[in-house]
Amino acid sequence: MIARVIVTPKPVVNDPQGITVKQGLATLGFREVSDVRVGKYIEVNLEAETEHEARSRVEAMCKQLLANHVIEDYRFEIDMDGHKRR
C-alpha cells in the first residue's frame, strides 16, 4: 500500500515561503493569484493487513512525526493496488 500525505501550514500560520512564491508569480505576470500556501508531499510505502490498519498507522505517523499539529494540517489517501481511498 502507498499512503500519500499532504501537510500544509494552518490558515492562521504565517507562510513566508508561500508569500515569496506569490510575489514571484505576480512578478511573472500571474496577478490573479490571491494566495499561495507551500506544504509537503510525502509518500509512505507500508504493509498492512487491512485498509483500516493502514489508516490507523498513517494517522499515528502524521501525529507523531510527519506533521506538527500546532502549526500544520494534514490529509492523506491510501492507495491499495492502484485504488485510491481518502
User: The pTM is what?
Assistant: 0.85
* Correct CATH for 2-85 of 3.10.310.30, 3.30.1280.10, 3.30.310.50, 2.60.120.10: 3.30.1280.10
Alpha helices in 1-86 (DSSP H): 16-27, 51-61
Structural contact between residues 61 and 54, judged by C-beta atoms closer than 8 angstroms: no
Residue pLDDT, tens place only, 29-45: 999 999 999 999 999 99
* Segments making up each domain of the chain, as ranges: 2-85
- Enter the C-alpha cell of residue 36: 499561495
Would you state the pLDDT for residue 81?
77
- The yes-or-no verdict on residue 24 having pLDDT over 60 is yes
- The torsion defined by the Cα of 5, 10, 15 and 21, in degrees rounded to 10, comes to 50
Q: Where in the chain does DSSP place strands (E)?
A: 2-9, 40-45, 72-80, 83-85
**Model confidence at 85: pLDDT above 70:** no
